[in-house]
Homo-oligomer: A and B are copies of this chain.
């Protein structure tokens, strides 16, 4: 986790921007602007809706990446938003990861994969793939970390830990997610009085034990939602070597005060995600009109995202002071 922690120090900003393009945050006129270009390229007109979004979402992401590089240490593309476009969207996901890395950002691939051991080993290639002809591992996805689901247990986790260690990368395991229904399973009380998410937390701390870096944190982080401030504070004590990825700030209701307890005494130990609050900030700026040029729209998206990212940095800084 040392690489991420260094990047946070360099920007003095423990936040990550979720690159989750959807038709709700990408201007409709931007998507439409690629219609003709795409129509000329596809064989089957049925491919147009997915392809024009695949192109528009990448341009949208690139404008945001350019605007926030140097201000935030990391981005977190959510692969679900890209898979929603079919395989063409998955290309955009990979291109987004590669472009973000090229601009110096740490890329946290929010893929929430998880499976039995032999299958998990295939998913772990997200962190370091096939051998090239010179024997070097190829980086097929350009992610610096991925998120992983714990429901399968240790043998579904170990391949990711091994891949992270081999490639100097990281992973974050779901412990206490930000959504309302997560309590149905994650808060279940066990026979010994602990809650399920606490048991998962203990497993996560153990899974990372052999990978603790100079920062004191292991390569196996935890996802802990901003919507559970008290539980997050307790987990911070329970998991002293586990870095937290904290979703749920902003649009989902979590505040800077809610996440403050998830940081350690040095103000490290966590990175807070905001997606819609940053990439959809343009919608609250009032400067948009459907008649704008694609370049003007991207300019508005970018400047709004930059302002929102700076405001989030200041909001977190004040709460952590």
Contact = CB atoms under 8 A, between A and B. Distances in A.
A279 to B, nearest CB: 13
Nearest to A80: B122
A140 B50 contact: yes
Contact of A123 (B84, B155, B183): B84
Contacts of A184: 153-154, 203
B50 A138 contact: yes
Copies in the complex: 2
Nearest to A35: B133
Interface in A291-307: none
Nearest to A181: B153
Interface string A243-261: 0000100000000000000
Contacts of A180: 153, 155
Interface stretch (A5-13, A193-201, A311-319): A193-201
Given A133-B48, A185-B151, A199-B188, A179 B116 contact: yes
A280 to B, nearest CB: 12
* For the complex of A and B, 10 pairs with smallest distance between CB atoms: A86-B140, A153-B181, A116-B179, A80-B122, A153-B184, A155-B181, A189-B191, A84-B125, A154-B181, A84-B122
Interface of A: 20, 22, 45-46, 48-50, 53, 78, 80-81, 83-87, 90-91, 93-94, 112-117, 119-120, 122-123, 125-126, 129-133, 138, 140-141, 149-156, 174, 177-186, 188-191, 193, 196, 199-200, 203, 247
